Amino acid sequence: MNLKTRIHLWNEYYNPFYIWWRCRKYFKFPNIKIHTGGMTWFFGFPIYQEYINKFIDFRISALGWKDKYNSPRYEWDPYISITLFRKWQLIIFFGYWGKTNDGVKDLATWEAMLDYLYYNIPLDKLVDRHTWGSINKDKELTTIKEFIKWK
């Protein structure tokens, strides 16, 4: 495997900014959320503690996603994690959380980026494709417009 292929694979699996960087002309930089404190598990992190170094553990991950039925499926946000003595963590998450912090805009924005990159869907169709009606009585639409750079 040559160096160019190794760099490409490292970016795809470990660079937290890889997906955003490829779409940066159209999407704003993700929000940052920081967790400090005791050990916590989150999706994308090892469940079994023996996989975590007992002194200091450093992990980074790109966006977790999969392709299902020719459509991207969001799995987890990109992150940088430092764990000390399997007890304390500093985790930096990168995502697109709205004011309600419900995760729907986060999921929709990442999937829109994946649609743009891997399925060649134009930007105007992405907004329509990733807009949902509310199940509450307020009839408010959930959309990704606030995270897109409009020209």
The arithmetic mean of pLDDT across residues 2-28, rounded, is 93
pLDDT at 71 over 90: no
Over the chain, what is the mean pLDDT? 86
Q: CB of 105 within 8 A of CB of 96?
A: yes
pLDDT tens for each residue of 80-111: 999 999 889 999 999 998 666 567 788 889 99
pTM higher than 0.95 for the full model? no
CA distance 150 to 59: 34
Domain that holds residue 91: 3-147
Tell me the CA distances in angstroms from 9 to 3, 23, 25, 73, 108, one per residue in order. Answer: 10, 18, 23, 20, 25
Taking alpha carbons only, the member of 140, 151, 146 closest to residue 28 is 146
Tell me how far apart the terminal alpha carbons of the chain are, to the nearest angstrom: 40
Report the number of distinct structural domains present in the chain: 1
Q: Which pLDDT score is estimated for 135? A: 62
Q: CB of 115 within 8 A of CB of 72?
A: yes
Q: Which pLDDT score is estimated for 61? A: 92
pLDDT at 133 over 90: no
Residues in the chain: 151
